[in-house]
Each structure stands twice: as C-alpha cells, then as structure tokens.
Amino acid sequence: MAHTFTYPRDVKTVYYFGTCLVDMSFPQAGMAGIHLLRRAGVEVVFPQEQSCCGQPAYNSGFLEEARAVARAQIKAFSKADWPIVVPSGSCAGMMRHHYPEMFANDPEYFDVRKFSERVFELGDFLHNALHVRYEDKGKPVKVTWHSSCHAMREMGATAAAKALIGQLSNVELVEIEREYECCGFGGTFSIKQPEISAAMVADKVEDIRATGASAILSGDCGCLMNIGGAMERTGVPVAPRHLAEFIWERING
C-alpha cells in the first residue's frame, strides 16, 4: 500500500488521539508527543472521552464490538475538523484505512471517511505537515529503528521517522537486518499463537543486538512492549524508546 496523503497547511490546532496502550502503559511517550506538537507552535486538544481505536476486536473477529468502540472515537473527535494526530502507526492505520471499510455499508460512511482523512501518524505529521527542525543537545549515541508493520505499510511513515532522527546531529542511526519484517506482536496474535510470536521476536531481538545500538526506537508502543519485554527477559541491554520521547529528551539536553 503506497499512500500519498494530503497534509494540512498552516496548522493552528490539532486533536491528539493517545491510544489505549500509551494511556495505560506509556503515558510519558504520549506526553512527549504532545510537547513536540506544542513546541511546533500547534495547540493540542486531547478529548477526555477518547479510548481505543478498536483494532484489537477488529483483528480478532469481533466486528460489532470494534464498530461500537470506533463510533465512540468518531464522536469524541467530532466538535471540530482539526487533524487527528496519533503517536502510533498501527492505530493511525486502523482509523485511516479500516474505519471506512468497517462502515462501508452504513449510512454514516461518508462522515466516517471524512474523519479518517484527518488522521495522521505523529512522526509523519511533525515532518511532513509541520516541517519541524530539531537541534540535538545530547551526547553521541548509536540507535536503531523499528517500524511497526502498519506505520510502514499503511501509513508510509518510515521515511519521516528516519528524517527526524537524521536531524539529531549526535545520533548515529544503524539500520537493522530484515528491517521490513514484523516483530511478532500483532496484538492478539501474540497470545493466540504465542510460539510463532516468540520465534519472531527472538529473531528481531537478535538482529537488534547485532547492530550494537544502545536504544531501539519505534513509533509504536505495541512493538516496543513486545521487543522490550523480550529483551528484558533475555538480558539484552538495549533501551526500547518511543520516537517522540527520545526526540524530546535529545532536544532538551
């Protein structure tokens, strides 16, 4: 899926959809995303009624439950037509591409499609809509990058993430072998097929270790929880970091 999005110009205000996983387990990464947007001169609105994009149920075969939760999100972001920025390629992909599919045969289809066209992945938005410039204040460090499958294949956000990392002068980015390959998370896949998922993440950890990087960056906390949990279990000393949190630390010294 190669996608070319139309990015809004002269953005003054954006909605922020934090995602359920960031909300529960990685709120600091979520806040870093908000800070980066505000630093770029954009006002951020975080509707408190938001929760989850619905992907877990959608991918597990529970379509009606997914639709009910999706409707609640669409409602929570309906008061203005600001862009909706998401610190996750996977959740952004769900809202951008799969919401219209889920409601293809419903009267609200066109409203859903309008909602979906406002959805952007955070790194992609910072780079391609806000054209941010960063000055690195951190010490020299070697990092590697992992794109979630949906950040890469649904949101086309990999190049933007690398461009942002490239702005950090003291950060050396080493690419991982088989960078295109899934880390084995896949939401409920990791618990429905735990052995296959375990084999996938073990290989990913090995490829990460081989880069010699001290941190693995990603724009998706699902992958980071999977890879990070496996690295912690096996004693691989590489820090899993969300891109937004990493950048926020680097530019604040």
Tell which one of 11, 42, 58, 241 touches other proteins (CB under 8 A).
58
Total site size for other proteins, rule CB under 8 A: 72
Residues shown for the chain: 253
The residue among 71, 217, 57, 239 whose CA lies nearest residue 151 is: 217
63 binds other proteins (CB under 8 A): yes
Fill in the DSSP letter of residue 185.
-
Tell which one of 130, 230, 244, 251 touches other proteins (CB under 8 A).
230
Shortest separation between residue 135's beta carbon and other proteins, angstroms: 24
List binders of other proteins among 152-211 (CB under 8 A): 153-154, 180-182, 184-187, 189-203
Q: Which is nearer to other proteins, 145 or 171 (CB)?
A: 145
Q: What's the Cα-to-Cα distance from 253 to each of 136, 163, 165, 193, 246, rounded to whole Å?
A: 7, 20, 15, 42, 11
13, 42 contact by CB (below 8 A): yes
Tell which one of 5, 7, 8, 23 touches other proteins (CB under 8 A).
23
54, 67 contact by CB (below 8 A): yes
- Distance between CA atoms of 88 and 21, rounded to whole angstroms? 10
Tell which one of 8, 60, 74, 109 touches other proteins (CB under 8 A).
60
List binders of other proteins among 106-125 (CB under 8 A): none
3-class SS of residue 29: helix
Q: What are the tokens at 210?
A: 């081989």
The one-letter amino acid code at 100 reads P
Q: Which is nearer to other proteins, 40 or 225 (CB)?
A: 225
Shortest separation between residue 25's beta carbon and other proteins, angstroms: 6
85 binds other proteins (CB under 8 A): no
Shortest separation between residue 248's beta carbon and other proteins, angstroms: 14
